[in-house]
């Protein structure tokens, strides 16, 4: 039986199978995180009257009048209440980053990542009934718990990659796993509204569909993925030997104590934190405000807004995969050292989006140019996943989970602050 399974597993390198499963898991996690932002527009009773249209605003893509529009929903929640509901996830999300890193180091990334996404799936399935039975405060509590469950995912994923990704394939495998972030945003933006609009039953469907998919993913994850090559019963002898040679001892050690003092006084560590905060500030600004900009300023209709808001994430996904493969190709041929390559890609991934966003702001109502600039600009963010995102594995494979816990936690904090700053800077939209 074992030899048969081993022969079947030899058809695909298990390190890449792990990368694919991480991609699917992270995609589902981000869909479940973001889908409420789309569904809430249909959940809440909205009454808009006497709309003032700025004569200097861009022309709408379809006829627009100042008549009263009423969208019927089940819940009578104010804008401030909706904001609290949507932000509750991130307060729980930040709390479990460090515990998630420690749990992944002690018990393994497989269990930590798997249970984190499984809990998120359960809370997603419960969302419609909790909202209906308990109202806004019950939903706030549920989203907080959902954030706590998902907060362990990035530290756990880093721990797994440290055990499975050889140095010269690290950019490719890591970019593959982290590509789930962009795919999740694409699916949530492009398909969420279509499911709500066309599948009988309305907005609850998105929570049921993606919650069930999350549970199915967890079952498959438990069956085919393992903490490290040494504990994998069906990995080929050739791949196990290759990973042991390139990574070192692939057996996970439980007796290691995280060197917090050395970590927190390390200049490269703080450089990584600053880079993460900068990237997440830009990313969360786009996630939060790009759809609003397309609607309020460029005045695209709802269908166009969903599709066009998804395009930048498609570009980011394609660039991240390409950048990962190119980075590993450069390292294998020793064209450039790892440190300089990471710095170069991080620089491109930081400057490119800034240029794109600033340039787009000067294009006025040229909708095609604005869309292209946002798409290309955010596409440059894909270089981040072949540079700073894998840098925790370069700095310390043994403590990659703890490093990522601090780094991603700091980045998430900036993501909570950025929308408020944007709101202060644009009080009139």
- Per-residue pLDDT of the chain (429 residues), as tens digits, is 455 555 555 678 899 999 999 999 999 999 999 888 888 878 888 655 444 455 556 766 554 444 444 556 788 887 778 878 888 888 899 999 989 988 998 889 999 999 999 999 999 999 999 999 999 999 999 999 999 999 999 999 989 998 998 988 888 888 889 889 889 988 887 888 788 878 888 899 999 999 999 999 999 999 999 999 988 988 988 988 998 888 876 555 666 788 889 889 999 999 999 999 988 888 878 776 777 677 667 777 656 777 787 888 899 989 988 998 899 899 989 899 888 999 999 999 999 999 998 998 888 888 889 889 999 999 999 999 888 888 888 888 878 888 888 988 888 887 677 766 776 676 655
Distance of CA 142 to the CA centre of its chain: 20
- Tokens representing 154 are 């990035």
| Cα Dmax for the chain | 73
Per-position b or e across 335-365, b if 16+ CB within 10 A of its CB: eeebeebbbebbebbbebbeebbebbeebee
| 231 vs 241: CA distance, rounded Å | 13
CA 299 to chain centre: 27
Residue 69 DSSP class = E
CA distance 4 to 199: 42
Structural domain boundaries in the chain = 11-50+77-233+262-425
Whole-number pLDDT of residue 344: 93
Query: Cα 269 vs. chain centroid, distance in angstroms?
Result: 22
Residue-level pLDDT at 129:
95
Structure confidence at residue 367 (pLDDT)? 85
Facing residues of 46 across strands?
71
- Asked if residues 313 and 185 have their Cβ atoms less than 8 Å apart, the reply is yes
Please spell the DSSP secondary structure of 22-39, one letter per residue: HHHHHHHHHHHHHHHHHH
Rg of the chain over Cα atoms, rounded to whole angstroms, equals 22
Alpha-carbon distances, residue 41 vs 28, 35, 46, 75, 82 (angstroms): 21, 11, 8, 10, 10
Q: Look up residue 144 and give its DSSP letter.
A: H
Distance CA 357, CA 377 (A): 7
User: What is the reported pLDDT for 65?
Assistant: 44
- Strands 46-48 and 69-71, sheet pairing: antiparallel
State phi, psi for 59 to the nearest 5 degrees: -65, 140
Residue 223 CB neighbour total at 10 angstroms: 7
Counting other chains too, the contacts that 67-74 makes at CB distance below 8 Å and 24 or more residues apart are 70/46, 71/41, 71/42, 71/45, 71/46, 72/45, 73/42, 73/43, 73/44, 73/45, 73/46, 74/43, 74/44, 74/45, 74/131, 74/132
pLDDT confidence of residue 51: 46
User: 66: number of CA atoms within 13 Å, CB side?
Assistant: 6
**Nearest-angstrom CA–CA distance, 144 and 27:** 20
User: Is the domain covering 11-50+77-233+262-425 a CATH 1.20.1250.20 domain?
Assistant: yes
Q: What is the DSSP letter of 254?
A: S
Q: Long-range contacts: 336-345, Cβ < 8 Å, 24+?
A: 338/167, 338/394, 341/387, 342/387, 342/388, 342/390, 342/391, 342/394, 343/387, 344/387, 345/383, 345/384, 345/386, 345/387
- Confidence at residue 189, expressed as pLDDT on a 0 to 100 scale: 79
Helix residue ranges per DSSP H, 96-203: 97-107, 109-150, 153-164, 170-198
CA angle 187, 191, 192 (to 5 degrees): 100
85 in the Ramachandran plot: left (φ > 0), alpha (ψ -120 to 50) or beta?
alpha
């Amino acid at each position: 039986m074992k030899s048969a399974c081993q022969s079947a597993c030899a058809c695909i390198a298990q390190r890449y199978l792990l990368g694919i499963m991480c991609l699917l898991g992270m995609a589902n996690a981000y869909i479940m995180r973001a889908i409420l932002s789309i569904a809430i527009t249909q959940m809440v009773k909205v009454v808009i009257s006497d709309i003032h249209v700025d004569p200097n605003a861009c022309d709408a893509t379809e006829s627009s009048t100042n008549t009263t529009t009423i969208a019927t929903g089940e819940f009578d929640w104010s804008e401030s209440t909706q904001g609290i509901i949507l932000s509750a996830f991130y307060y729980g999300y930040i709390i479990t980053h460090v515990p998630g890193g420690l749990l992944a180091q002690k018990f393994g990334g497989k269990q930590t990542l798997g249970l984190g996404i499984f809990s998120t799936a359960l809370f997603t399935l419960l969302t419609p009934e909790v909202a209906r039975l308990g109202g806004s405060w019950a939903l706030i509590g549920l989203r907080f718990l959902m954030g706590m469950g998902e907060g362990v995912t990035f530290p756990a994923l880093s721990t797994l990659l440290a055990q499975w990704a050889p140095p010269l394939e690290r950019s490719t495998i890591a970019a593959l796993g982290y590509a789930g972030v962009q795919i999740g945003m694409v699916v949530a933006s492009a398909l969420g509204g279509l499911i709500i609009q066309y599948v009988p039953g309305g907005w609850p469907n998105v929570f049921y569909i993606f919650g069930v998919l999350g549970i199915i993913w967890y079952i498959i994850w438990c069956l085919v993925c393992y903490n490290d090559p040494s504990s994998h019963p069906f990995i080929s002898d050739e791949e196990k030997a290759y990973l042991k040679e390139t990574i070192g001892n692939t057996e996970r050690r439980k007796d290691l104590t995280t060197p917090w003092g050395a970590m927190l006084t390390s200049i490269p560590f703080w450089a990584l934190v600053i880079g993460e905060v900068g990237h997440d500030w830009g990313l969360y600004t786009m996630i939060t405000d790009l759809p609003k900009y397309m609607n309020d300023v460029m005045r695209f209709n709802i269908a166009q807004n969903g599709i066009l808001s998804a395009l930048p994430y498609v570009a980011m996904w394609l660039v991240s995969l390409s950048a990962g493969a190119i980075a590993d190709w450069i390292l294998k041929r020793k064209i450039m050292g790892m440190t300089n390559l990471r710095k170069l890609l991080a620089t491109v991934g930081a400057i490119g989006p800034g240029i794109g966003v600033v340039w787009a702001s000067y294009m006025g109502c040229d909708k095609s140019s604005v869309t292209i600039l946002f798409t290309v600009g955010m596409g440059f963010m894909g270089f981040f996943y072949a540079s700073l995102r894998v840098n925790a594995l370069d700095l310390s494979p043994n403590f990659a989970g703890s490093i990522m816990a601090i780094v991603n936690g700091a980045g998430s904090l900036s993501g909570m602050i950025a929308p408020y700053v944007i709101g202060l800077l644009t009080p009139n939209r």
